[in-house]
């Protein structure tokens, strides 16, 4: 696939509207209070999955990055993490399913900044998980790290605890950009960490980059990309900076005037895609890159890629149990979210109530649309026969209106629609979210669109 074919300027301009990222369908904006007494238990009873993925949210960070839109608590008090681990333990002990939960194939620590925890605190956390869940030998254990303050000894300690995948937040290596986002970090130190992670035998090292940051130019981002390519990580994630200062207070420290405007932002994305592609990385979905021998690249080639709250994954056939403040579980036909603030999370657990109090149980219509959106987002194609067999519907009748709406994309050369399948063309790849939106029943009135960021 040539990156050039993805950039049809008139079409990108026409369809660059606000839209969901579809890490879930329905999206989190549709979540509401749950009425079930034990929602998680009900969700597990209705699930047909035989294995589990655990997501643990560690909300603490040592310092505030001004671009940040995550759920986090900035603090220097390490003991706050001890208290948090006490409550994670409480949450796990109160789970109605723990003893009978399916085997765990995947553990992911996200944040905030999971590398806020000391090695002793990580040891406690891993012991907690292995005591209460049946974690498979050889399970994938991944962690997001903030390179500032992480040493090679710390990485070695994580490796001893079984972590075999690491994702490092690079964002941009230019000093002026780093100062504007309040995240100054040493590139040579990151390179040392990447090298060390590889020496430790970690099977995957991912580097995160962000385009659209203040003061970024084509020349500065070329330098950042060159630094990244020298490190040769297995994967690169390329995110678009969404400037939403009305929603995220930290972003008010970033002056609008410092930001690259829409055209320059697209040029930065194109530069990154061409550079990474030219260096042998395959584009996964819309925003990830992987070397050809990486399992994400293989899954994409075989049409078995999946998408969840952490992005693209090869393990879509797992229920996802989210632990910790604000985490979301995706179990069977339900999404269940923990309270979003530490105080609410702690209070719920002190009351002895299930922490998952918010979310939704999918209707059968939601489940059909979730499957379709997932297929389009991951595989850029949909088998009509597959949907009809899975959900016992007549596709043409059920989606009569949607098929009419899709015609606009067909006319623009973005889609091929036959009675048996829907295929996105290569120039539709960056616009696949807009095409998927056709099947989103909650966007019918378009009243929610302003809550989402631009698709590019």
Which residues would be at the binding site for ligand SF4 (CB under 6 A)? 61, 64-65, 68, 70, 72, 111-113, 146
**C-alpha angle 328-106-118 in degrees, rounded to nearest 5:** 80
Nearer to ligand SF4, 112 or 322 (CB): 112
Say how many CA atoms lie within 13 Å of 25 toward its Cβ.
28
Nearer to ligand SF4, 70 or 191 (CB): 70
Nearer to ligand SF4, 216 or 275 (CB): 216
Question: CA–CA separation, 331 vs 295, rounded Å?
Answer: 24
**C-alpha angle 277-283-289 in degrees, rounded to nearest 5:** 85
Nearer to ligand SF4, 185 or 425 (CB): 185
Q: Are 307 and 326 in contact (CB under 8 A)?
A: no
Question: CA–CA separation, 456 vs 444, rounded Å?
Answer: 21
Tell me how far CA of residue 98 lies from CA of 1, 110, 346, 347, 416, in angstroms. Answer: 45, 21, 20, 21, 46
The distance of closest approach from Cβ of residue 435 to ligand SF4 in the complex, given in angstroms and rounded to an integer, is 30
**C-alpha angle 54-56-61 in degrees, rounded to nearest 5:** 160
Nearer to ligand SF4, 72 or 108 (CB): 72
Give me 16's structure tokens. 């660059």
362 CB neighbour count, 10 Å cutoff: 19
Nearer to ligand SF4, 57 or 141 (CB): 57
Give me 255's structure tokens. 């002056």
The distance of closest approach from Cβ of residue 151 to ligand SF4 in the complex, given in angstroms and rounded to an integer, is 17
Burial 231-252 (b: 16+ CB within 10 A, else e): bebbbbbbebbbbeeeebebbe
The distance of closest approach from Cβ of residue 244 to ligand SF4 in the complex, given in angstroms and rounded to an integer, is 14
The distance of closest approach from Cβ of residue 110 to ligand SF4 in the complex, given in angstroms and rounded to an integer, is 9
Q: Are 374 and 21 in contact (CB under 8 A)?
A: no
The distance of closest approach from Cβ of residue 208 to ligand SF4 in the complex, given in angstroms and rounded to an integer, is 9
Nearer to ligand SF4, 114 or 359 (CB): 114
Nearer to ligand SF4, 65 or 297 (CB): 65
The distance of closest approach from Cβ of residue 210 to ligand SF4 in the complex, given in angstroms and rounded to an integer, is 9
The distance of closest approach from Cβ of residue 70 to ligand SF4 in the complex, given in angstroms and rounded to an integer, is 4
The distance of closest approach from Cβ of residue 75 to ligand SF4 in the complex, given in angstroms and rounded to an integer, is 11
Residue 424, SS3? strand
Q: Which of 436, 326, 378, 328 is nearest to 69 (CA)?
A: 326
The distance of closest approach from Cβ of residue 60 to ligand SF4 in the complex, given in angstroms and rounded to an integer, is 8
Q: Which of 332, 310, 66 is nearest to 206 (CA)?
A: 310
What is the full DSSP assignment across 171-219? E---HHHHHHTT----HHHHHHHHHHHHHTT-SEEEEEEEES-TT--HH
Question: CA–CA separation, 53 vs 39, rounded Å?
Answer: 18
Nearer to ligand SF4, 65 or 95 (CB): 65
């Amino acid at each position: 696939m040539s990156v050039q074919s993805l950039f049809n300027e008139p079409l990108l301009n026409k369809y660059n509207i606000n839209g969901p990222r579809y890490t879930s369908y329905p999206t989190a904006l549709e979540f509401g209070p749950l009425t079930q007494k034990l929602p998680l238990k009900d969700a597990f009873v209705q699930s047909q999955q035989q294995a589990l993925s655990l997501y643990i949210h560690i909300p603490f960070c040592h310092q505030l990055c001004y671009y940040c839109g995550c759920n986090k608590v900035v603090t220097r008090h390490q003991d706050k993490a001890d208290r948090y681990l006490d409550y994670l333990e409480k949450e796990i002990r109160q789970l109605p399913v723990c003893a009978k939960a399916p085997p765990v194939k995947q553990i992911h620590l996200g944040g905030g900044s999971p590398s806020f925890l000391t090695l002793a605190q990580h040891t406690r956390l891993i012991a907690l998980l292995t005591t209460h869940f049946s974690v498979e030998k050889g399970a994938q254990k991944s962690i997001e790290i903030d390179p500032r303050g992480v040493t090679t000894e710390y990485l070695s300690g994580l490796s001893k605890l079984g972590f075999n995948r690491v994702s490092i937040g690079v964002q941009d290596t230019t000093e002026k950009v780093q100062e504007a986002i309040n995240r100054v970090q040493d590139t040579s130190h990151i390179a040392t960490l990447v090298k060390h992670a590889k020496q430790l035998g970690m099977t995957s090292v991912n580097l995160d980059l962000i385009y659209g940051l203040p003061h970024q130019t084509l020349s500065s981002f070329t330098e950042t990309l060159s630094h990244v390519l020298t490190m040769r990580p297995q994967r690169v994630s390329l995110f678009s900076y969404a400037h939403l200062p009305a929603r995220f207070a930290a972003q008010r420290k970033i002056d609008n005037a410092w930001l690259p405007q829409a055209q320059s932002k697209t040029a930065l994305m194109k530069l990154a895609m061409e550079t990474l592609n030219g260096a042998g990385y395959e584009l996964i979905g819309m925003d990830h890159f992987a070397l050809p021998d990486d399992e994400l690249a293989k899954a994409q080639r075989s049409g078995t890629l999946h998408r969840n709250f952490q992005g693209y994954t090869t393990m879509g056939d797992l229920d996802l149990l989210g632990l910790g403040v604000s985490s979301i579980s995706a179990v069977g036909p339900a999404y269940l979210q923990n309270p979003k603030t530490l105080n609410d999370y702690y209070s719920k657990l002190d009351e002895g109530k299930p922490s998952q109090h918010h979310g939704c149980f999918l209707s059968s219509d939601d489940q059909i649309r979730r499957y379709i959106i997932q297929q389009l987002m991951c595989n850029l194609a949909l088998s009509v026969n597959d949907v009809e067999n899975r959900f016992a519907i007549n596709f043409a009748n059920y989606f009569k209106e949607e098929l009419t709406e899709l015609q606009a994309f067909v006319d623009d050369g973005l889609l091929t629609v036959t009675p048996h399948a829907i295929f996105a063309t290569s120039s539709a790849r960056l616009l696949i979210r807009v095409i998927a939106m056709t099947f989103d029943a909650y966007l019918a009135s378009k009243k929610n669109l302003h809550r989402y960021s631009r698709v590019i």
